[in-house]
Structure 1
Amino acid sequence: MRMPLPLALAVLMTTTAPSASAADPTPPDVARKPHTVTAPFGASRQDDYYWLRDDAREDKAMLGYLEAENAYADALMAPLRPLQEQLYGEIVGRIKQDDSSVPYRDRGWWYYSRYESGKDYPVHARRKDAAGVDALSIQAANAKGDFNGEQVLLDLNVMAAGKGYFGVDDYEVSPDNRILAWAEDDVGRRQYTIRFRDLETGKDYPDAIPGVSANVVWADDNRTLFYVENDPETLLTVRVKKHVLGTPVAQDVLVYEEEDDSFYMGIGRTRDEKFITIGVESTVSSELRYAPAADPQAFTVLAPRQRDVEYDADHLGGRWVIRTNADGATNFKLATAPSDATSRAQWRDWLAHDPQVFIEGYELFDGFTAIAERSGGLERIRLAKLDGNGGIASQEYVAADEPAYSMGLAANPEPDSPWLRYGYTSLATPATTYELNMATGERRLLKQQPVPGYDPSKYVTERVWIEARDGVKVPVSLVYRQGFVKDGTAPLFQYAYGSYGISMDPGFNGPVVSLLDRGVVYAIAHIRGGQEMGRQWYEDGKLLRKQNTFNDFVDVTRGLVAQGYAAKDRVAAMGGSAGGLLMGAVANQAPGDYRAMVAQVPFVDVVTTMLDASIPLTTNEYDEWGNPEQKPFYDYMLSYSPYDNVAAQAYPALFVGTGLWDSQVQYWEPAKWVAKLRDVNTGTHPVLFRTNMEAGHGGKSGRFRRFREQAEYYAFVLDQLGVREAP
């Protein structure tokens, strides 16, 4: 017997047919032009929509098609405009508009970011350390609008004026606290320009370094900046250079060039500030170089790269601490090495490998090490206190209070501090920052994300396990509103990613509350391809085992329906980027299990993309997807590639989104996929394709503008699931 919903929900929700009807506008058609895509070993495929690719983004016919699809989307969504506006108002209403981050101290200054009411972009600022100045006092001053003593580093609202897109993804202050370097992008293609500002005078230097990644590191002389130059075509990180302020950029010295295009590259400074590092890594291998920050002329290799050996390293207390999977440590272990190490022969195990515990990262302090790890599909922080010889004297764990949660290390720039900062959140608990004193055991709440109008006691989070078709149990995080009954009638919105070993942890998501308040159950499926269950979980969801990712997602849906969490005909799904590949594969393989799907910036043309080394990210990812120039990988990728497996069948309602300037998943992949779906789809559910003409992979910039996009696809999904609101 069905128990009644709480009164508020009962008033909000009725179940009716979606608004789509025969009166809906006709979707655009686009020309088919025969084109053959060949593989080096002779295989070929026909791609009638290959012509939609235009690297310059200037072809009038292509742009006309994208605009026509946007016009169709506008017309299709017009009846849902009131719901979309209501959702947008709810989502934005849960944002404290004049909020600020938790300040952290570094080199005698407290750094933070803050927002002003009604503005899209943050203000990055700092205050000088002094008696009575700390994280709590600065937050209190910011809350009162008291900015006396504040030094503004970057006001992105001013910098973004008149631009369709703007972002600053890295900024660093010189060691003497006087000069700011930052990397900005005004297109969304993740091709950055580095600029400089004198923080004492407020004036900008004329120096500008274009075509780089968002990664800058100062040397100790406060004049030399290291940066990573991108290949202008593939956007791969290929060269480390150094720039001396006041000198021509054309004369910048080449420090290191990576010749293997399967490797990514990044730079940094060690925990003790003694070394500048250059790290390169592929899917299955890594290598680190280091040079003294005081005189970074020659870089030394910590340990030469070796296939299937990954490592990263940091330096403190006169030694390297290294996280590695060497010697069969599938879930990684920690080792140490002397400061002048040059080979793995000098490494000594420090924290042993545990096949049940995956080590994700660590932070070094003078008296202890904080280790971020995973066990049983959940995150935890291990605290290893050191003895006088650098060994481990004792270990303990930071406690958690919910069955499904996310916990991780926060900003901890000072290794001599006794305080460890960490973050905690769950699907029902807003993001919370704590600090724990390792000497006294005191725990202080620094901040919980304010969510106006939200009452966490009205929501329930749960962890369940669903058995996949091969017997493997898949963890699932759920959240729903109090009063929910597992009677098989509710709508379900299921999300997953499942690639690159990236874990989708159950953290608070303010916009999802709008779904929960309408009786929707929200689920995160922690499918293979991520690392929620350790490194093997990732290995079992890539290359020639990628099908496990898709099977897990479908089996979780069927399991949740069987257990009464949802009605079979009221399930929606969502994924983005590689998660969009997931959506495309599942739409082909199990279309009847889903009423609606959202695929954002979806990687759906797997084979063609992976055959083209000129496309950004292709060569870096042969060890993730396989190299289709080799027939076994070609055949396997072809078996699941969404674009290649579109069939004459009834598809779910689809909301497909992309950005014209996306450098990670090019716009033409979803454009071609939608065009092909329109040719053969035998169903009646709408297929909507939205292209943001001013954005890249992450969508629109600014904290409010992206919620317009989210409100649109939420309205689309709710409509398809038959969720209505009373007048």
Structure 2
Amino acid sequence: MSQILSKTKLSLIVSSALLIAACSNQNNEATNAMNDITAPIAKKVPHKMVIHNHTRVDDYYWMRDDSRKNPEVLAHLAAENDYMKAQLQHTEAMQEKIFQEIKARIEKDDSSVPTKKGYFYYASQMQGENEYPIYVRSSDFSGSNLEVLLNVNELAKAHDYYQVSGLSASPDGKLLAYGEDTVSRRIYTVQFKDIAGKTLLDDRLEGTNGGIVWGNDNKTVYYIKKDPQTLLGYQVFRHTLGTPQATDEMVYEESNKAYYTGLSKSKDGSSVFIWHSSTEASGVSVIDADNAKAMPKKFIEREEGHEYSISKMNDWYYINTNWQATNFRLMKVNKKHLGDKTQWQDVIPANDAVKLEDYELFANHLVYQQRENGISRLTIQELSSGKKQQLSFNDTAYTLSLYGNNELKNNKLRLYYTSFTTPGTHYDVDLNTLDKTQLKQAKVLGDFDSNNYASERIFVKARDGKKVPVSLVYRKDKFKKDGTNPLYQYAYGSYGHTIDPSFSVSRLSLLDRGFVYAVAHIRGSEMLGRPWYEDGKKLTKMNTFTDFIDVTKDLTAQGYGDKENVFAVGGSAGGLLMGAVINMAPEQYKGIAAAVPFVDVVTTMLDESIPLTTNEFKEWGNPKEKTYYDYMLSYSPYDQVKAQDYPNILVTTGLHDSQVQYFEPMKWVAKLRDYKTDDNLLLFKTDMEAGHGGASGRFKRIHDTALQYSFFIDLLNKS
């Protein structure tokens, strides 16, 4: 019997060994097969483009396919994805480790702070492994009688990509409108739900921007329709529930393609605002929300160079305007003088050193947010007495935003606060005493201790003498100011968009590994006011790129980072920044990550059929004018690719991107492969289901972060 058992054991051992060997051989073959994958080399089909007596030849113009169905294009993108996966296969364990450690810091069951609007308090909930929120409401702040409005997880089940937009309850609270996008092109279908009956109405509004505004009769809605080619929202329609969309009345059409169109409702509920916004001018039209047949009236005539926004309280309109105010000022006018700018009165006078950024109206208070020397501050003014008080905060640099202040009759201000070392914190502030009540602070699970981290705010001298603000954060016990820490440098630098320091649970995975994280507040943002933006757009755009390079050089010279291990990151217009700096100063960077990068500047800006092009002329310039053409050509990343060594590069995009079309990074990577003279990595990943914002779902997005971090850490480990 023992001999039989021994033989059986021996047979099992041999079989197991053979099976393991077979599996091992299969794994080795798979690994070898992956390693044998070579970088995809794209075919060249010369495409001539002539303007201003200048000829450009684009060998990769063929990659543009607006239908996103061309087999050759899709095959090349798939080949790039396979190559990227093969080259980073050895980092998959690291990617998974970083993914899990980031995910482990996130509280799985989490709710937003309820905000009151009308009869109810509205909030969202994240539960367990759910990727999407559940939207809820209650008649009180505590949520004692919670009802579910929308479970996005259920709606998303049938889709690879799913995005909800513009949730809005009717004034009587009985109906819910929301937009849904299942492609990631940001073209939404608006649905209407009977909240009590939990059933959908027959009404469906196709081809919209995702949001609606309710008229006060609870059955009239206003919405914006998009051009399916350019994706511009340019028509405002009025829909009556229970009627076909085909019979909807168009109440406004934007004829100037340089303008975006938006919709909102005044805080007092009396008016619907149609917003007309371009880069250097804006306007507002007003519709009576009580009259289902009312037509829009211009607030004032639009003027080139005049930017403003409005709010309404009782008989007065308040106007945040740059009229004779470089950094904006707040004015007001009585409704009887609608259309007459000469009747405007100062509320907060112009100040060339201080930028007026935001404000909120309450029945007896005005709250306004200003930025001075790059730092935001809040002032609360009692309207009856004129008494002013200023809120104070502990961090040297931080993010401050007002939200959820939907009620005029309220003695509390809701605000959100965060810094590099302070997790997102929600407060209610008593408008009379300034006492702050902390409603919630984001929990960071695990062994996080904010005292382990330090942040700094410094100024770096640019090559033309301007001082560029830089925000830094690092882990204290991992940092030595001796030039040995790897440096991760981020910036955006366009559209006046300012990146204030804010907390990130993902970033901890870098800081805990010894990285110094820096945000360069370069020109093109409004960190130092409106002039800072003006000095980084159109014919001064080059300042954006040189500022970034100068910050890199200075930070390494000061010992904040290792000059041999600098990693730079930017997305969208920040991807343009990445493309420009590696053409201009490739030797400064070990690796870069460019997400959805806008890199084919001249070709895109010459083609008005491409979404958003016409809205961008005042930001970049119109290349149909030779002055702008020559200037844009001088920095356009795609046009300036040359035979030289480049850093290690990771490029990511989404096939359905509606803002930066997939073919821009696709062409850029192909051209870089052809020209670069180094053996460094050039990797390109396309998410075949996503668009400009990347994957939908809170945990899915972490995979993209883990990929980028692993890419950099692997390069660092090879140093």
Give the TM-score range, shorter chain. Answer: over 0.9
Work out whether residues 190 and 211 of structure 2, in 8 Å CA contact, stay in contact via their aligned partners in 1.
no
**Is 1:525 paired with 2:537?**
no
TM-score normalized with structure 2 length: 0.94
Instruction: State TM-score, norm by structure 1.
Output: 0.93
Cα distance, 1:723 vs. partner? 7.7
In structure 2, what residue type is equivalent to 1:641? Answer: S
Indicate the residue corresponding to 1:696 in structure 2. Answer: 691
Find the aligned partners of 2:251 and 2:693 in 1 and give their Cα distance.
31
Matched, 1:508 2:503: yes
The question of 1:597 aligning with 2:569 is answered no
The answer on 1:115 being equivalent to 2:112 is no
Identity %: 46
Cα deviations across residues 562-584 of structure 1 (Å, max 9, x unaligned)? 00011111000000000000000
1:351-370 residue pairs with structure 2 within 5 A?
A: 351-370=348-367
Mapping for residues 196-235 of structure 1, pairs under 5 Å: 196-235=192-231
Residue of structure 2 aligned with 1:47, choices 58, 75, 80: 58
Shift of the alpha carbon at 1:25?
Answer: 4.1
RMSD: 1.3
Q: 2:95 aligns with which of 67, 84, 109?
A: 84
Shift of 1:411: 1.4
Q: Which residue of structure 2 aligns with residue 106 of structure 1?
A: 117
Greater C-alpha radius of gyration:
2
**Equivalent-residue separation in structure 1 for 2:229 and 2:715 (angstroms):** 40
Aligned 8 A contact 1:616 1:663 in 2:
yes
SS at match of 1:510: coil
Write the mapping of 1:434-445 to structure 2, written as runs, cut at 5 A. 434-445=427-438
Is residue 64–residue 663 contact of structure 2 (8 Å, CA) maintained in 1? yes
Shift of 1:464: 0.9
Aligned-partner Cα distance in 2 for 1:203–1:23: 53
Aligned partners of 1:304 and 1:343 also within 8 Å:
no
1:629 is aligned with what amino acid? K
Tell me if structure 1 keeps the 8 A contact 2:391–2:434.
no
**Is 1:57 matched up with 2:54?**
no
Which of 117, 125, 137 aligns to 2:136? It is 125
Tell me the amino acid that sits aligned with residue 470 of structure 2: V
* Alignment partner, residue 534 of structure 2: 539
Within-5 A mapping of 1:301-700: 301-327=298-324, 329-340=325-336, 341-387=338-384, 393-453=386-446, 454-483=448-477, 484-700=479-695
**Residues of 1 paired with 2:157 and 2:202: CA distance?**
20
Letter in structure 2 aligned against 1:400: F
| SS of alignment partner, residue 218 of structure 2 | coil
Amino acid at match of 1:470: D
Deviation by residue 1:340-370 (Cα, 9 ceiling, x = unmatched): 3113122112110111111111111111111
Q: Give the Cα–Cα distance (whole angstroms) in 2 for the partners of residues 657 and 679 of structure 1.
A: 19
Task: Say if 2:254 is the partner of 1:258.
Answer: yes
**Structure 1, 341-350 or 665-674: larger mean CA deviation:** 341-350
1:102-140 CA-to-partner distances (Å, cap 9, x unmatched) read: 0111212110001010110000110123xxxx2xx34xx
- State the 1:421 CA deviation: 1.1
Aligned partners of 1:215 and 1:266 also within 8 Å? no
The superposition leaves residues 513-550 of structure 1 with CA deviations (integer Å, 9 ceiling, x where unpaired) of 00000000000000000011100010000000000000
Q: Does the Cα contact within 8 Å between 2:566 and 2:589 map onto a contact in 1? A: yes
CA distance in structure 2 between the partners assigned to 1:526 and 1:442 by the alignment: 32
Paired amino acid for 1:451: V
Question: What SS does structure 2 have at the residue aligned with 1:243?
Answer: strand
Higher relative contact order (CA 8 A, sep 6+): 1
Residue type at the aligned position of 2:47: H
2:257 counterpart letter in structure 1: D
Residues of 1 paired with 2:458 and 2:562: CA distance? 18
Query: How many Å separate the matches in 2 of 1:380 and 1:601?
Result: 33
- For residues 23 and 204 of structure 1, what CA distance do their matches in structure 2 show? 52
Contact kept in structure 1, 2:606 and 2:622, CA below 8 Å:
yes
1:153-164 alignment, distance < 5 Å: 153-164=149-160
Counterpart amino acid of residue 619 in structure 1: T
Could you tell me which of 166, 169, 173 is aligned with 2:165?
A: 169
1:457: how far off?
0.9
- Please list the CA deviations of residues 545-602 of structure 1 after superposition, one character each: whole Å capped at 9, or x if unmatched: 0000000000001010000011111000000000000000001000000000000000
Work out which of the residue numbers 291, 314, 327 in structure 1 matches 2:287: 291
Instruction: Check the 8 A contact 2:587/2:647 in 1, yes or no.
Output: yes
Letter in 2 for 1:525: A
Partner of 1:16: none
Q: Take 1:107 and 1:301, find their aligned partners in 2: how far apart are those partners?
A: 28
Match in the other structure for 2:275: 279
Query: How much has 1:424 moved relative to structure 2?
Result: 1.0
- Cross-structure match for 1:35: 47
Deviation of 1:722 (Å): 2.5
Cα 1:36–1:271 shift into 2, 3 Å: same
1:710 is displaced (CA, Å) by 1.0
Change over 3 Å in CA distance of 1:487–1:24 after alignment to 2: farther
What does the per-residue CA deviation read over 1:44-103, in whole Å, with 9 as the maximum and x for residues that have no partner?
210000000000001110100000000001101100011100000011111101101001
Aligned residue for 2:94, secondary structure, equals helix
Deviations 1:241-267 (A, max 9, x none): 011111010000000000000000101
Say if 1:379 and 1:408, in contact at 8 Å, map to a contact too: no
- Give the whole-Å Cα distance in 2 for the aligned partners of 1:346 and 1:212: 37
d(CA) in 2 for partners of 1:409 and 1:550?
Answer: 31
Hey, what's the Cα distance between the residues in 1 that align with 2:81 and 2:463? 39
How many residues of Structure 1 are paired with residues of Structure 2 in the alignment? 682
Q: What does residue 22 of structure 2 align with? A: none
Give the Cα separation in 2 of the matches to 1:23 and 1:697: 30
**Quick one: distance in 2 between partners of 1:56 and 1:334?**
46
3-state SS of the aligned residue for 2:279? coil
Report the CA distance shift for 1:23/1:215 in structure 2 as closer, same or farther (over 3 A): closer
SS in 2 for 1:643: coil
Tell me the residue number matched to 1:141.
Answer: none
Question: 1:24 Cα deviation (Å)?
Answer: 7.1
What does the per-residue CA deviation read over 1:20-43, in whole Å, with 9 as the maximum and x for residues that have no partner? xx967421111100101233x343
Q: Which one-letter code corresponds to 1:104 in the other structure?
A: T
- Runs of 4 or more above 3 Å deviation: 22-25
What's the secondary structure of 1:265's corresponding residue?
strand
Distance 1:717 1:680, change over 3 A: same
Secondary structure of residue in 1 paired with 2:524: coil
Does residue 1:26 correspond to 2:38, yes or no? yes
Equivalent residue letter for 1:229: K
Task: Give 1:149 deviation, angstroms.
Answer: 2.2
Q: Offset at 1:404? A: 1.7
Aligned residue type for 1:208: R
Give 1:142's aligned residue. Answer: none
Task: Name the residue aligned to 2:17.
Answer: none
